Amino acid sequence: MIKLSNFPIKTLKTRPQISDNISTSILLQAWFIRQTMAGVYNYTTLGLKVLRNIENIVREEMDNYWSSEILMSWLSPMDIWEKTWRADIDEYFKVPTYGDKNYRLNPTHEEIVTPLMTEFINSYKDSWASVYQIQTKYRNEKRAKSWLLRGREFIMKDAYSFHITDEEFVEYYEWMKKVYMKIFERLELLDDTYITLADGWVFTEKYSHEFQVVLPIGEDEIYICDSCWTSHNKEVVDLENWFECTKCKNKDHRIEKASEVWNIFPLETKFTKPFWMKMLDANNKEQDVIMGCYGIGVSRLMWVIAEYNMKDKWIAWPESVAPADYYIIVIWEENIEKAEDFAKKLESKWKTVILDDRMWKKVGFGQKAGDCELFWIPRRIVISPKTLEQWGFEFTKRWEKSEIVNF
């Protein structure tokens, strides 16, 4: 339970003016986030709740599909990055220690997870092994952009899978697409999300897949084929010729701005070879191991969901990620105890509650109701002598009419 009388938050009366980004201004007004420096953020209590709700949805679906959660180190020794020729990438931070030595502040974890998993991946029976973590990543961005969007540090879910054959890998890769669709559905983003064919980047010569959410302020441009719902990142479209859908060969398309929220990469043997990860096949013969990686930008999702659900004055968070389930407004001091009892009852049913028991001057019903809307808590309860006279409280679900409900 969050009791606002003990809570060091004050929402701002007016929205800070951030030139091109209203949703971020609302996040600042509601005190969900504060900037330490460009691309580097503090998540204050309610912002952290949203972030954790997103994290937990991702975690539950990964667990449901038998990926095992681990937590890898933030630092690593430089020599493992030399093995994969990624020691000198400018966008990856080096951290000097004593002497001439450096550590790496990990921007991604292929170099950590591959040696880690080599210990117990020995035979085809260990194929289909999958681990994931939810963790901070660091990127030495020259120009940190668009608030949470291109950060110097950000929270990611990154999963890694290991396979004996290409066929098995492809099967897993398709399976993971389904897991991702399930996550999208719970985050209420599914309707405007497209699986987008993109460049393999430094990871692979094949295409990779991005999951793009259509957003007018997105940094990517995608070519959507409406007959098969496939989409193509601008970078893989041959713009000098006609556009042709790689899947259904359709030539019709529309172009939309979009924001990438996750990606999945076939890594082939790019990382398993340098770390000598091998599997014995059914004939006891050593085989190279095929690897895949599957990212989700957890902190980026918070920003994308905010932008996607932005209304005129607030962000209409989907119920699944809203900072709390209930917001209880107490009007008279004498009802605080009753309100607290009721909040505890809700908590015993695993609901989360914000109790607005601020009694000091100037915080009247108007401000309390206003903060409830600014935070966008889906269920509001008002307790007053008047509602108690009728043996109950006033209950309002977002977008619906208030009613008096008995305790």
Chain residues binding its own copies by CB under 8 A are 1-3, 6-10, 31, 34, 36-37, 40-45, 48, 51, 63, 66, 68-77, 93-98, 103, 105, 112, 116-117, 119-121, 125-126, 129-131, 136, 138, 140, 142, 152-153, 360
Q: Which two tokens stand for residue 99?
A: 């002497």
Q: How far is the CB of 125 from its own copies (least distance, A)?
A: 7
Q: How far is the CB of 320 from its own copies (least distance, A)?
A: 19
**Which of 72, 236 has the CB closer to its own copies?**
72
**Which of 41, 147 has the CB closer to its own copies?**
41
**Which of 6, 406 has the CB closer to its own copies?**
6
Residue 39, number of CB atoms within 10 A of its CB: 20
**Which of 94, 273 has the CB closer to its own copies?**
94
Q: How far is the CB of 15 from its own copies (least distance, A)?
A: 16
Residues facing 258 on adjacent strands:
214, 220
**Which of 152, 234 has the CB closer to its own copies?**
152
Q: Rounded to whole angstroms, how far apart are CA atoms 351 and 150?
A: 33
**HSE-CB of 172 using CA atoms within 13 angstroms:** 27
Q: Rounded to whole angstroms, how far apart are CA atoms 37 and 325?
A: 32
**Which of 120, 242 has the CB closer to its own copies?**
120
Q: How far is the CB of 303 from its own copies (least distance, A)?
A: 15
Q: Which two tokens stand for residue 28?
A: 């600042």
| Extended strands (E) in 164-289 | 193-198, 208-214, 220-225, 230-233, 254-268, 278-280, 286-288
**Which of 62, 267 has the CB closer to its own copies?**
62
Q: How far is the CB of 246 from its own copies (least distance, A)?
A: 33
Q: Rounded to whole angstroms, how far apart are CA atoms 277 and 68?
A: 19
Q: How far is the CB of 407 from its own copies (least distance, A)?
A: 24
Residue 377, number of CB atoms within 10 A of its CB: 25
Q: Which residues contact residue 215 at a Cβ distance below 8 angstroms, ignoring those fewer than 6 apart? A: 192, 257, 258, 259, 304, 307, 308
Q: How far is the CB of 115 from its own copies (least distance, A)?
A: 9
